[in-house]
Amino acid sequence: MAEEIEVVTFQDIFQYEAQKKGRYSEEFRKASALVFLDQGDMGKLGIKDGERVKMENDAGSVVVAAKASVDFAHPGLAFMVSSPWANQLAADQVCQAGVSDFKRIKASISATGDDQTEMEDLVQRMKA
């Protein structure tokens, strides 16, 4: 069962540190290929912490790990580290300020058994 969710991207110091080991490193993937979801949304969608989810919209699709947000309740809202994975969901359109509209992305999300999208696949998509 897929449900539409709004995704807000953010910068993360742990991802920045992992990037120093390389954008193709396992550490960078673990810090970047994930989405933080409201615990209630996870329950409603039948998603457990650490499971893979497919996120898709008109701009593209990606499979990332789901993490339960521990900060506060935020139903219908997800947080995703700014990364090549999040970029797959960002449309080419610009917001009123004239910059890429990647801060608030609407996407459908559902549990999946598919493998997590690898960095190599993302690079190939960007070349196409």
**pLDDT of 99:** 55
Domains of the chain: 3-127 (2.40.40.20)
**pLDDT of 1:** 74
Using a 10 angstrom Cβ sphere, with 0-12 exposed, 13-18 middle and 19 or more buried, the burial of residue 91 is middle
> What mean pLDDT, rounded, does the chain reach?
86
Longest dimension (CA), the chain: 39
- The residue type found at 72 is F
**pLDDT of 49:** 96
pLDDT tens, 67-89? Answer: 999 988 999 999 998 888 998 99
Handedness of CA 71, 74, 75, 78 (dihedral sign): negative
Higher per-residue confidence, 39 vs 100? 39
